[in-house]
Chains A and B, each alone.
Chain A
Amino acid sequence: DAGVIQSPRHEVTEMGQEVTLRCKPISGHDYLFWYRQTMMRGLELLIYFNNNVPIDDSGMPEDRFSAKMPNASFSTLKIQPSEPRDSAVYFCASSLAVKPYEQYFGPGTRLTVT
C-alpha cells in the first residue's frame, strides 16, 4: 500500500490567500484525521471523520478553517484567508474502524504564510 498521501508537501503563500491541503487515506480505512503541529502548541487534532462524516471539529481554530471529505478516498483542509500564525506542518492520518487509535500518518504539508 502507498500509505497516506498528502499534497503539496510544501506550500508558501502570502497572507490573505486561500490555501487547500489534500489528503488521500489508505484504501479501506474508515477514519480520517487532520492534525496541526507547531513548536509552540505541539500536535493538535483539528477534525476527524468517520465514513466521510465529520465527527468532531472542535479543534478547528476558527471559521477560516474548513474541512471536507467528499468520498472515502479524498479529503481537503482549506484555510481562507490564510494568516502568518497558520504556518505549521499539517498532518493527515487514517485508521481502521476496528483499530481507530492505530493511526497511519502521512508525511505532512509544511505551510508557510508570509
Chain B
Amino acid sequence: GDSVTQMEGPVTLSEEAFLTINCTYTATGYPSLFWYVQYPGEGLQLLLKATKADDKGSNKGFEATYRKETTSFHLEKGSVQVSDSAVYFCARTGRRALTFGSGTRLQVQP
C-alpha cells in the first residue's frame, strides 16, 4: 500500500547547523511528494513539493529532491534557525488522497 517512513525525532541542532530529515516512500504508482511543517499550536502548512522524479522542491531555504531510484525525498537546509523548530511531515499522494509520515520534531537551540 501507500506509506511514508520518516526518521524518528527529536532532531536537536544548534543554530546554523546543517539539517537532514530522511523520508522514504513505498514505490507504488507515480506519487507526488510533499513536505509539510507544523509549528507549535498550529495546523500543518505546505513547505515544498515535487511531482516527478528528479524534481527539486524548495522554499524558505529548505530543499528536497525526488529520488525514484532510492524512493526517497529527504529534507535539507544548509543553516537552520531557532524559528525552524517545528514538526516536519513527509507525505505522498496515493489511494487515499495524501498519506503522511509520522512526523519528525526539530529543535534548534541558540
Whether chains A and B associate is: yes
A: residues with CB less than 8 A from B are: 4, 31, 33, 42-43, 45, 48, 56, 58-59, 91, 93, 100-108
User: Contact partner of A91 among B34, B43, B101, B103, CB < 8 A?
Assistant: B43
Most-contacted residue by chain B among A93, A100, A105 (CB, 10 A): A105
Please state if B43 and A58 are interface contacts (CB–CB under 8 Å): no
Please state if B42 and A101 are interface contacts (CB–CB under 8 Å): no
Q: Which residue of A lies closest to B92 (CB)?
A: A101
- In the complex with contacts A56-B96, A106-B43, A108-B43, A101-B32 CB distance below 8 A: yes
For B, the interface residue count at a CB cutoff of 8 angstroms equals 20
> Smallest distance from the beta carbon of A57 to chain B beta carbons, Å?
11
> Smallest distance from the beta carbon of A4 to chain B beta carbons, Å?
7
